[in-house]
Amino acid sequence: MTSEIEQQINAYKERKQNLGNLLVRCPDQPGIVAAVSRFLFQYKANIIDSSQYSTNPEGGDFFLRIEFACPSLQEQKEEIKTSFAALAENFSMDWKMTFPSEIKRTAIFVSKELHCIRELLWEWQSGDLMTDLALVISNHETARELVEGFGIPFVYIPASKENRREVETEQLRLLEEYKIDVIILARYMQILTPTFVEKNPKRIINIHHSFLPAFVGARPYDRAFQRGVKLIGATSHYVTNDLDEGPIIEQDTMRVDHRDDIDAMKKIGRSIERSVLARAVKWHLEDRIIVDGNKTIVF
């Protein structure tokens, strides 16, 4: 990591040291927002932003995200989390309290296509993707020069169906060694095993080069061309053991027509893939996402 990026991260931590995020999912009922607000007020916390959503006011689920500032947060955050657990139990809350100053550590998995990792590295270098980008793992050498130019460790591990178990054992070892919080599949063209996925629930973010649920799996642009579609898109989602079926975080589309061959579609699609993946990763890093079954609530 370059000294300039280290300075950006340290400055961000300093700015955010008194800020916290609270995410809540629970059965809907009166008094939830009032109770949470009173609780934060006890710690002299100021609510900066609050977003909420109810699936049904009568018997549905309630979702809440609050950003708050607390003058003595660094000294009190463990106490605040412990105290909030009692309130959460009263409302049967599934909740998470996070702190922006605790920067998440990220690993990127990539194969030969570099457009998505280039976008992530650019966003990271410019300070718009606030993470400790600790490691890049690839089954090809293609990205080495690019990655090492940013001062990021690059690990080449040849992967195939035949050696998948050994590869993932080494990958999991590296993720533990580097204390990785988030795994980004930036066009990593290997299917992960159930064992790998189960060890990283809701921590693996993928970009699929189609507007899911259309064209699941391999060669979606080829199939889109054969089908004569007028819109192509990209989808970023959490990885589950069902191929390309995980909770969708972000999607986007662009128009195409009969003049666009497969190569033209791929070129248009790469632009969509880059921006969709970058947005999804950013929202995850900022704790804006609540997973609800196989869907997401993105605040």
Instruction: Give residue-wise pLDDT tens across range 110-158.
Output: 999 999 999 999 999 999 999 999 999 999 999 999 999 999 999 999 9
pLDDT digit string, tens, across residues 277-288: 999 999 999 999
Residue 244 known to be catalytic = yes
Residue ranges covered by each domain of the chain: 17-98, 105-298
Look up the CATH architecture of domain 105-298: 3-Layer(aba) Sandwich (3.40)
Nearest Cα residue to 250 out of 266, 237, 239: 237
User: Which pair of structure tokens corresponds to residue 105?
Assistant: 């550590």
* pTM of the model as a whole: 0.94
**Element at 66 (helix H, strand E):** strand 61-69
Of 132, 181, 244, 260, catalytic:
244
Nearest Cα residue to 246 out of 299, 183, 158: 183
Q: What band does 243 get if pLDDT is binned at 50, 70 and 90?
A: confident
Note whether 17-98 and 105-298 share their fold.
Answer: no
CATH of the domain spanning 17-98, picked from 3.50.50.60, 3.40.50.300, 3.40.50.720, 3.30.70.260: 3.30.70.260
Q: What DSSP string describes 154-193? A: EEE----STTHHHHHHHHHHHHHHTT-SEEEESS--SPPP
Report whether 23 contacts 64 (CB < 8 A). Answer: yes
Q: Over the Cα atoms of the chain, what is R_g?
A: 21
The one-letter code for the residue type at 2 is T
